[in-house]
């Protein structure tokens, strides 16, 4: 009986430690909107999308010199209400934490990123307004357009790469089976 209780206590302690570690990892690198002002101007800021698993989908925007964030908000394909917007860091964070996903290379790159974002925001005829699409015209596409060629891949690119790897593995498996059947027809 005592051994069972001791085992239960040890198991509970280990589980609680794992839960605490995952809680810390989930917030690692995230800061409150008030502290996000320490990020370099022109950085791509990222926050979890509300209503989804926080580790799966993110919303991104560009940090401007005045401490505001320019971002492309949309909900579903063809969302005509989807527009480029400029919000305060607190409004962008939507009650949560923000991460600095990518920083500009230097001061010149920082100003170039901010200039591109501002130009797109000021141009009401830009190709983002009223044209949201989860796969091809979203907040990450806006940030990558502003950031330039050195931007890291977005979620869509990573998903497509995973799908391509899976498809390639399936094709290789089918080809392997075909070749083996040709070599060993009675196996």
**In this predicted model, which residue has the larger pLDDT, 71 or 173?**
71
Judged against a pLDDT cut of 80, whether residue 183 lies above it is answered with no
Instruction: Tell if the pTM clears 0.75, that is, is over it.
Output: no
The percentage of residues in the chain with a pLDDT greater than 70, rounded to a whole number, is 64
| pLDDT digit string, tens, across residues 39-49 | 899 999 988 88
For the chain, where are the alpha helices, taking DSSP H only?
Answer: 2-27, 89-93, 107-122, 139-147, 155-183
CA 140, CA 155: separation in Å to the nearest integer? 8
Hey, where are the domains in the chain?
32-151, 153-187
Question: Which range has the top average pLDDT, 33-37, 120-124, 136-140, 165-169?
Answer: 120-124
Average pLDDT over the chain reads 74
CATH number, domain 32-151, options 3.40.50, 3.90.1720, 3.30.410, 3.30.70: 3.90.1720
Structure token digits, residue 37: 């002002």
| pLDDT digit string, tens, across residues 103-137 | 999 999 999 999 999 999 999 888 888 888 777 78
């Amino acid at each position: 009986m005592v051994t069972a209780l001791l085992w239960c206590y040890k198991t509970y302690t280990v589980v609680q430690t794992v839960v605490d570690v995952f809680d810390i990892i989930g917030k690692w690198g995230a800061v409150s909107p008030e502290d996000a002002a320490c990020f370099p101007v022109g950085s791509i800021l990222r926050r979890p999308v509300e209503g989804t698993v926080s580790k799966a989908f993110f919303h991104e925007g560009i940090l401007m010199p005045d401490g505001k964030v320019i971002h492309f908000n949309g909900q579903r394909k063809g969302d005509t209400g989807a527009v480029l917007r400029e919000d305060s860091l607190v409004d962008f964070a939507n009650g949560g934490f923000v991460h600095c996903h990518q920083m500009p290379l230097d001061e010149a790159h920082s100003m170039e990123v901010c200039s591109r974002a501002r130009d797109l925001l000021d141009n009401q005829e830009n190709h983002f307004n009223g044209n949201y699409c989860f796969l091809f015209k979203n907040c990450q596409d806006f940030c990558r357009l502003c950031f330039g060629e050195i931007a890291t891949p977005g979620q869509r690119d990573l998903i497509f790469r995973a799908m391509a790897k899976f498809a390639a593995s399936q094709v290789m498996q089918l080809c392997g089976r075909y070749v083996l059947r040709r070599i060993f027809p009675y196996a």
